[in-house]
Amino acid sequence: MASMSRTEILGKVYKMVPPMLEKFHKGQLGRVAVIGGSEDYTGAPYFSAMASAKLGADMSHVICEQGAGAVIKTYSPNLMVHPYMRQEKNLKQGETIDSISAEVIAMLDRLHVVVIGPGLGRDPAMQETCARVITEAKKRGVAFVLDADGLYLAQTRPELVKGYKECILTPNVVEFGRLAKAQGIDVDSEDPTKVCEKLAQAFDGVTIIQKGKVDYISNGKTTLVSSGEGGLKRSGGQGDTLTGSLATLLAYRKAYLERIWDHENDMHPDELLAYVAYGGSAITRECSRLAFKQHGRSLQASDLTEHVHTAFMDIIGEKPTEESKL
């Protein structure tokens, strides 16, 4: 896989993406939830959930703090917003981390993928709730993506994610450095092309996307480099388009493995994880390129959202429908 060209890898992603068929029913092409959204950060979970929706997930949920929920509901009527999370100071009488966690965990059985971290913050109650959600997601085989303050859990409680293959971590340069330091890896003395592989090995085969000038993607055995052109503006929130894109592609991977349409069935689960990571990276970089081309230095994270479908068509492409074959 490591010697495959960009075109070949994206061809594999194309094979994994379900076609648009009349026989599918609501929910089969992805039920995704983004868990985060504290009082201070309402944009990040919105950008992530909207990216998942724009890339084709049938149902995109946001599970967030009560105050954040009221705000996020005003951003888009397309998202389903569940104000179940609580910061410690906002726990009401009768509410406990046990009761809050139980409400969030109850949603897992109707989800394919969860994204944990956008806008989450470091509040102890929010972090502990997510730790419990991760534990239960693993028991149910639910795939998850960790980003932003969700990565703080991987840094401080690595046992939560170690060895769980249905998981992608998406650290930026600072977050990557913290994760590496916590695992005793000196990023400065290591070969930069090998350090992502080494961190993935430390996490027993978890897939990691090391975001940067190029994105290094590794599960400890195989490393891919995603180097498509991006934009030159580094506004906050662009990584949320990546997490939402990854979530939808993980849902498509599940659909592929469950063979909800007729295909060759010649790709295995671990291989597909690498393709999901590469595809999400490539689509996000193209979103950034397109948005920067249009907006230049005024680019904001919301501009990427508007380019998700165009980026998908540019990078992956749509499968022909039965009607178009006639």
* Binding residue numbers for (6S)-NADPHX: 119, 172-178, 240
Q: Are 280 and 312 in contact (CB under 8 A)?
A: no
Q: Which residues are annotated as a binding site for ATP?
A: 211-215, 230-239
Q: Which residue in 229, 210, 218, 244 sits closest to 57, CA to CA? A: 244
| Strand, helix or coil for residue 63 | strand
**Residues comprising the chain, all counted:** 326
> Phi and psi at residue 282, in whole multiples of 5°?
-65, -40
Q: What whole-number distance in Å separates Cα of residue 324 and Cα of residue 138? A: 41
Q: What whole-number distance in Å separates Cα of residue 70 and Cα of residue 81? A: 9
Q: Are 286 and 13 in contact (CB under 8 A)?
A: no
**In the beta sheet, which residues pair with residue 107?**
none
Q: What whole-number distance in Å separates Cα of residue 187 and Cα of residue 168? A: 20
Residues of 114-146 as b/e, b for ≥16 C-beta within 10 angstroms? bbbbbbbbebebbbbbbbbbbebbbeeebbbbb
| Strand, helix or coil for residue 162 | coil
Read off the tokens for 149: 């303050």
| Strand, helix or coil for residue 160 | helix
Contacts for 104-107 with beta carbons within 8 Å, 24 or more apart?
104/35, 104/63, 104/129, 104/133, 105/132, 105/133, 105/136, 107/33, 107/61, 107/63, 107/82
Q: Which residues are annotated as a binding site?
A: 119, 172-178, 211-215, 230-240
DSSP letter for each residue of 245-256? HHHHHHHHHHHH
